[in-house]
Homo-oligomer: A and B are copies of this chain.
Amino acid sequence: MTAAVHLVDDDDSFRKAVGRFLRTAGYRVLTYETAADLLAQLPLTVPGCVVLDVRLPGMSGPELQQCLIERGADVPIIFLTGHADIPVSVRTIKAGAEDFLIKPVEGKLLIEAIERAIASHRIDQGRSGEIAAVRALFEQLTPREREVFQLVVHGKLNKQIAHELDITERTVKAHRQSAMEKLKAHSLLEMVFAAENLGILSRSDRHAMLARSLKEEPSGTNGSG
């Protein structure tokens, strides 16, 4: 499948030249004169990357980058500009830009950057698709089931969960099983992996868990009991 390159630049002749070059190289190229033009096309259905000038009429390149980040459009961005300084390049790269190239750019360099960007995008797409799938399942859980699920993936036993929520162990089992069905998980392990994809198990949670076990104290004891 042909990867798409979203080219944002206010210079007509530049768009035409680079567009032609990239099409010859086998890419599908969509051009935009301003940042707003690209924003109007969101969400970008065609996978690929964005090649972006820094200085644009209206919204600047870095501003567009921030905008895309805030909207969750995790498409890789390659800056390609003639008007830039080091602070700008540093900021954009730290903000996650895939690369920062300078006009005039060597064709080979641009192609390489695009290839890297597209490769990373495919990975992101795969991951985010997975996460979305799990999240969709998670949305189906009732509030009570979510509570139980949270405690389960933190390693709590049914007994302890029952105590925390002030219900019987049997009820915990019911919610737990229901949650497992809805999440299409078949084991505790899959529950945990799902939780990690949902961001429910934060780094600090695992840190606390590790710290506990390294101290070789009984792990089941949660202070709230």
- Count of interface residues, chain A, beta-carbon cutoff 8 Å: 41
The reply to whether B190 and A155 contact each other, CB–CB distance below 8 Å, is yes
* Interchain CB contact (< 8 A) of A90 among B93, B189, B206, B220: B93
Which residues 176-214 of A have a CB within 8 angstroms of B? 183-190, 192-194, 196-197, 206-207, 209-211, 213-214
Chain A interfacial positions (CB closer than 8 Å to B): 84-87, 89-90, 93-94, 99-100, 102, 126-127, 130, 133-134, 155, 183-190, 192-194, 196-197, 206-207, 209-211, 213-214, 216, 218-220
How many Å from the CB of A124 to the closest CB on chain B?
Answer: 12
The reply to whether B218 and A193 contact each other, CB–CB distance below 8 Å, is no
Distance of A189 Cα from B63 Cα, bound (Å): 43
How many Å from the CB of A140 to the closest CB on chain B?
Answer: 13
A89-B89, A90-B93 given as contacts; is B197 within 8 A of A210 (CB)?
Answer: yes
Distance of A99 Cα from B187 Cα, bound (Å): 44
The reply to whether B190 and A189 contact each other, CB–CB distance below 8 Å, is no
